[in-house]
Amino acid sequence: MANQSQERFHKHNSSSSSSSSSSSSSSVVVVVVPFPAQSHLNQLLQISHVISSHNIPVHFVSTSVHNSQVKSRATHVVNQERIQFHDFPAPHFLSPLPNDTKFPSHLMPSFEASVENLREPFADLLTSLSKTARKIVVIHDPLTSSVVHESCRFPNTEVYNFHCVSSAFRFARRRDALGLKIERPDFENIPRYEEFMPPEFEAFVAREVRFGKKIRTSGHVYNTCRLIESAFLDFMLERDKETQENLKIWAVGPLETVTIFKNRSNKANGGQHKCLEWLDKQRPNSVLYVSFGTTTFMENEQIRELALGLEQSEVKFLWVLRDADKGNVFDEVRRPKLPVGFEERVKEKGMVVRDWVPQLEILGHSSTGGFLSHCGWNSCLESLSLGVPIAAWPIHSDQPVNAVLITEVLKAGVVVRNWAQRNELVSSSMISEVVKKLMTSEKSDEVRKRAKELGFELRKATAEGGVSRKELDCFIAHINR
C-alpha cells in the first residue's frame, strides 16, 4: 500500500530557554522528585517540561541510573537548559530477573535503595536553593514522602503531591481503608485494594504514608481529567474536607496530549522507528497494538497462548514483546520465547518488536485501531486521548481499577478476562475472541465510537480554554505567585 499521512502528537513547548542556574532572590524554583518506576518517572518528566516552558527553573532529582532511564525513553527531546537533572549516585542494589509473581517484586531492591539514598542529597539541594530562591516548590510522588519530608524545615518551601495513578485507584484505597460502602453504580465494581498489592509493597507504601503525614502539603496534582474522573475527584475532595485537610486539587491531564501534526517529524535523536514504517503500509484502524508496559512478567506458556490467539484472530497486530524491566533497565534481560515458526507464519499480518518503541506515535497512527493493554495509567491516558479503544488485561497494582474505569465506567474498551480469574491461564481461543470483538465485531463499532468521542473531548480539554488547560494554568499561576 502507498504510504498514508498520519496524525501524530507532540509536547507543546512554547517558551524560550531559561537556565536553572539563573535564579535570583526573587525567583521561584521547582524541585521534582519522582518514584523510580518508568511510568512515574515519565509523568514527572512531563510535568517538568510543562512547568519549565513557563520559564520556571526545574530541578529533577533522582539517581543517576533512573535519570538516564527516563531521558533515554523520553518521547521528546529533553531540554537540559530548562530542566537540571541531579544525578545522585545510588548504592549497589540487587537487580534480579523478574519472577513469576504478578507484581514486580523484583524491583523492590531498586525502589528501597533509591528512595533511601535520596534523602540527604535532597535536603542538601534545598539548603543550597533556599539561599537564593524566593520560594521553593517541591512536586513529588507520594511514594517518595520519606525523601521530601524534611522540606518543612525550610520556611520558603511549598510541597505538592503529584499522583501518577488514576483518582479511581486512590478512591479504592481510601474506600477500603475507611471501610466505606458506597452505593453508586459507577463505583460498585471497583476491585478491593487488598487484591492487587503484595504485603512487601504495601509495607513500603505504609511507611511512605507515615512520612507523608509529617509533610505540610499544599495540594494534590492529578494527571487526569475531570471529564473522565470527576466523580472520583469529588469523592477525594469531600474526604479531605471531612479530615480538615481541605487541600487544593488540580486535574491537569492528560499531560502527554497536546498538538496534532500531520507531517512526519523524525525525532532529533535518530529518525523513525521501523514499526512506524510498517504501520504506514497498513489500512486505517486495521492494526491491534499489543503491549504490557515495563513491569509485566509473562510466563512462556502465556506468551504462547497470546501468540496463537493473535494468529487465530487473523487481525493485523504490532506486538511489543519485552520482558519486565530489571532494577537497572540497562542490564540484560530475558528474551521471551515465541512458538516455533510463529514469526515466519505471521510475517504478512503481524510484527513483533523486542526493543523500546514510541508508544505515543504508534497510538496516534491512523493504522492503529485498538490496544491490547495491561492498563497502566500512562497507557490508558495515551490511548484514551488518542481515541483508541482498549482490550483490558490488567496484571497488578492500579491496573485492575483502571480496567474497570475503561470498560465499565467510560465504555471505551472490552475485558480480556475478569479480575476474579486473574490466576488462570488465558487461552488462545479466548484471546482470539476478544481481539475480534474489539477490532471486527458490531461491538467494536460501538466501543470505537465511544473511544473516538472521548479522544476528541480529552484533546479539547488540554487545548487553550479547555478544562484541563485551565486547571494547569491555574496551578502554574498558583506556584508562581
Active site residues: 40, 141
How far apart CA 135 and CA 391 sit, in angstroms, is 45
Element (H, E) at 404: helix 399-404
Exposed, middle or buried, 372 (CB in 10 Å: 0-12/13-18/19+)?
buried
> What's the DSSP call for residue 352?
E
Closest CA to 175 of 187, 165, 163: 187
H or E stretch covering 212: helix 199-212
Number of residues written out for the chain: 481
**287, 450 in Cβ contact below 8 A?**
no
Cα gap 446→421, rounded to integer Å: 26
Q: Which residues pair with 339 in a beta bridge?
A: none
Q: How far apart are CA 230 and CA 147, in angstroms?
A: 30
Residue 197 and residue 441: Cα distance in Å, rounded? 35
How far apart, in whole angstroms, are the C-alpha atoms of residue 288 and residue 414? Answer: 13
Dihedral (Cα; 337, 339, 345, 348), 10-degree rounding = -40
Identify the three-state secondary structure at position 320.
Answer: strand
Helix axes 226-242, 442-462, angle to 10 degrees: 60
The residue assigned the cell 531498586 is 110
432: Cβ contacts below 8 Å, ≥ 6 apart: 309, 310, 312, 313
Neighbours of 193 (CB within 10 A): 20
